[in-house]
Amino acid sequence: MTASAKSTRPAAVPTVQVDNERVTVTEWRFAPGAETTWHRHGYDYVVVPLLDGKLQIDDGKEQRIVEMGAGKSYYRPVGVEHNVINASDYEYAFVEIEFKTPQ
């Protein structure tokens, strides 16, 4: 994992759009340089990018830049641990859909 020092980055802003027994749908907005902070996903999830842009992903072992394409969704399984940072020089946003029910 990453160092536990307090970050000086701005915080990404989550807005929960749907939260029920089956799913949580959250819109995430990132100012330039903003981050989610270190977290572990408790459910399988899908991310739907709303814009083209770049995110820096810190998984505790490496940091990499990922190119995001508007509308190019991707899936990740439960247990992913990381910090997500906006590496674009403009506001970036995506929608995250977490699946609470088993397959």
Note the pLDDT of residue 7: 75
Sheet holding 13-19, edge to edge: 13-19, 23-30, 92-99, 44-49, 74-76
Q: Band of the pLDDT at 5, cuts 50, 70, 90? A: low
Tokens encoding 42: 């408790």
Phi (first) and psi of residue 63, to 5 degrees: -120, 130
The hierarchical CATH code for the domain 13-99 is 2.60.120.10
Instruction: List the chain domain ranges.
Output: 13-99
- Is the whole model's pTM more than 0.85, yes or no? yes
Q: Band of the pLDDT at 101, cuts 50, 70, 90? A: confident
CB 47 within 8 A of CB 30: no
Mean pLDDT across the stretch 29-37? 98
CA distance 37 to 34: 9
Please write the tens of the pLDDT for every residue from 51-78. 999 999 999 999 999 999 999 999 999 9
Residues in the chain: 103
